[in-house]
Amino acid sequence: MSEIATQFAGEANEVMAAEEVDMIRAESIRIDHEGVNAIGEWGYRMGGAYKRARDTFPTITGAGDQPLRGRSRPGWNEFVEENYKVSPNTVAKFIRAYEFALTQPALKGQGVELLSILAAQDAPEAAKTEIINKIEEGQKVSTRRAKKIIEKHRPSPSDAREIARETGKLTLASDGNIYSGATDEEAQDHENRRDQTYRIIDAINDLANCPLNATEWMDQTEKHWLREFEPAMIDRAMNFLGSLSFKLKEGKGIIDA
């Protein structure tokens, strides 16, 4: 067990003894190592074991007692990396699947992939209901079939755009694209501005990484290559770069230096 994990062994729950914490974590490691074929009931058991072990690590809260994102359970990721055969992301996936299955008894024993699809925040509620109903009726619902049902229930591009406009949230549509609620004109304007920004960034990178100095560049350049080049553009470019450098140093840039 890692030093960080051990540090929190007895602090996760005031009424949980350190021995009980160690037992829960040891059991999760055993199930993880035996879970060669993590499907169906075994995947469900693995998710439960991972969750119980994760819950022995205390949650660090922020303002309003809300759990902090990312490092809200110090030591947990290190424990996973040191003791489990799978990554922290995979463990989190199993836990989400297990937690979702707890809300729907009919889903116990379903595969982790299917449960993960249903647990996704962007899965339409109508699709979840249809899939769960089919399972309760005894039908076999594969992950492929579930994905098709979910896609069927996603809004059309025009509806997704309207939903995004009303909620202020990006919305996934039935065509697989994500819509922000912007009109076609607004979306095109955004794309144009983005492309212009990246063209300038690429040009600056090319200049900054050029292996030649000005003299070497002129010596290797054939005269006809410069036929349409206007030397005055250099002065305009230098004015732009000087102003851009000033703005970035002044703190008005998007990315901190």
**Contact criterion met (CB below 8 Å) for 172 and 122:** yes
Give the C-alpha separation, 157 to 213, whole Å.
51
The predicted-structure confidence for 163-189, as pLDDT tens digits, reads as follows 888 888 888 888 878 888 777 788 788
Contact 119, 99 (CB under 8 A): yes
pLDDT tens sequence across 21-59: 888 888 888 888 876 455 567 777 888 899 999 999 988
pTM for this predicted structure: 0.56
Confidence (pLDDT) at 211:
92
Distance, C-alpha 139 to centroid of its chain: 32
Give the containing element (helix H, strand E) for 153. Answer: helix 143-153
Q: Residue 171 pairs with which residues in a beta bridge? A: 179
Has residue 11 got a pLDDT over 50?
A: no
Q: How many helices (H) and strands (E) does the chain have?
A: 12, 2
Whole-number Cα distances in Å, 95 to 11, 107, 136, 228:
22, 14, 22, 62
Q: What is the mean pLDDT of the chain?
A: 81
Chain segment 49-67, per-residue pLDDT in tens: 999 999 999 887 655 555 5
